[in-house]
Amino acid sequence: MDVVIIGGGAAGLKAASRIRRKDAEANITVVEAGKYVSLGRCGLPYYVGGLVHEVDNLRETTYGAVRDESYFKRLKNIDVLTLTKAVEIDRDRKAVKIVRDGSEDELNYDYLVVATGSRPVRPPIEGIDAEGVVTLTDAEDAEKIIEMWEEGAERAVVIGAGFIGLESAEALKNLDMDVTVIEMMDRVAPAMLDRDIAVLVENHLNEKGVKVLTNTRVEKILTENEKVSAVVANGKEFPADIVIVATGIKPNTELAEKAGLKIGETGAIWVNEFMQTSDENIYAGGDCVETTCLVTKKKIIAPFGDVANKQGRVIGENITGGRLKFPGVYGTAVFKIFEFTVASAGVNEQQAENAGIDYMSVIAPGPDRAHYYPGARYIRMKIIVERGTWRVIGAQAAGMGEVAKRIDVLSTAIQAGMTIDQLSNLDLAYAPPYSPALDPVITAANVAMNKRDGLFEGVTAFELKERISDENIVILDVRSEEEFRSKRIESDKVIHIPILELRERLDELPRDKEIIVVCQLGLRSFEAARILKGAGFENVKLLEGGMAFWF
């Protein structure tokens, strides 16, 4: 059996490795247009920022072997051809035309795998082709950025505040550069986060000295002597020695289109659940294919390394006689910005709205372990629930504490179709060094159940800011005196009554106005709201997430 794989990234080489493990006799050839194969591109920002010292560290095994051409030949008997471009697929003859060192050749196949990946989008901005304007999607980009920094670059502008943009911003700041991030949407990581979580990320970036500009459109890039000198956005100039463009990716489908393979509604290659294209002898996986969001059932592109690896395994299994399926994704993702971990799973509010899902959301901050245990850190969590079924369909979290394991639990709950009632009874491990007695996941589920059952009405920080001048509201802050002095909502509508004094001081509160209760995390606000309701106050709400979400 002859197998040709176009693309030496995660999907292609995972497929190749799986084929070899199941078929010792198969002839496997991998064609890669670039210099490096099996490069962990997700690690490039850490290479730029100095946390990873060599490019080859990003393609090492756990035991230190570099996954280069020699590695794949010696260990797996897989032929890897780097700096080799596949230029045409002849489906009738089952052949791939390649160009290497200026010479044309041909590879015959019984099965072909298209794993051509994606390329960065370069928006039509004047000056975008100037020297010093780069992306951060391959090793050459990373090496160019380091070279410019070593030559004296001090100011950087990052266009786009998605994963790559934000991680690039941290890497450049770690080089002591002056960094500005410009995002045209109203928040960072807009495809992943809602505003209430995104604003926490923006605040953390600002605290670390990274300037973040949202709702800002880049108009042009200025140059001096053909080198970038500044970025113009919303009519203002931002000096720059380096500009990183991180405005998204586009699947590399040209080869597939030219071969007449079916292209999906997203513009990526169409595949079935077995990762077969419209030609049963051609499989495809990774960034170049579309998949299904299993919450909304809509077709999407999921350009993540873990997805590519899973798809590659399915491809390798099926080429060797298996019938594995890849059903789709739930959009689980995590990234780190300085000390801040940010994660999500399922859909955000905008995606739920676009899919016509009637939903309810709650936010619930809390410590990642027993609050008295040394090293406890706070995390802010949000869950999105489908009304009626009360299934969890989305989750987001951010903070300096242990976020990743919580999002993994919530991702599993979303995949299992769990309701908030089931989530609240999960049997999670508890010990003070690892979790409070009620894990933040369970606390969030309990908050959602309280909201569903009408035990409280909430307002967000955004809503309260918009209503701060409303003469018909009173803001009741029930925190301690020390907390109140350290950070407060600046308004003459604030009445401060510590929670332990509330029952004795109810007569200080007006009964003809809406009372919005505020505390640090939300628990005391809930207690206070129940006290007020029990005492006959009719119009009571609380600030969801408390001062932990105030900005």
| Positions marked active-site | 42
Find all residues with CB under 8 Å of 426, minimum gap 6, and list them.
Answer: 409, 413, 439, 441, 442
* Sheet with strand 218-224: strands edge to edge: 218-224, 227-233, 236-239
What phi and psi values does residue 169 have, to the nearest 5 degrees?
Answer: -60, -45
Structure token digits, residue 183: 């995002």
- Give the Cα separation of 439 and 34 in Å (integer): 46
Q: Do 274 and 321 form a contact (C-beta atoms < 8 A)?
A: no
Instruction: Please tell me the number of Cα atoms within 13 Å of 251 on its side-chain side.
Output: 28
Q: Do 320 and 330 form a contact (C-beta atoms < 8 A)?
A: no
- Give the Cα separation of 170 and 405 in Å (integer): 23
Q: How many residues does the chain have?
A: 551
Amino acid at 209: G
Residue 412: alpha-carbon gap to chain centroid: 17
Q: Do 516 and 544 form a contact (C-beta atoms < 8 A)?
A: no
Q: Which residue has the tokens 């600030």?
A: 543
3-state secondary structure 274-287: CCECCCCCEEECCC
Smallest CA-to-CA distance from 515 within 451, 454, 456 is with 456
Structure token digits, residue 487: 């950070």
CB-CB neighbours of 72 under 10 Å: 22
Structure token digits, residue 206: 């600002």
> Burial level of 290, CB count in 10 A (0-12/13-18/19+)?
buried
Q: Do 142 and 136 form a contact (C-beta atoms < 8 A)?
A: yes
- Give the Cα separation of 551 and 200 in Å (integer): 8
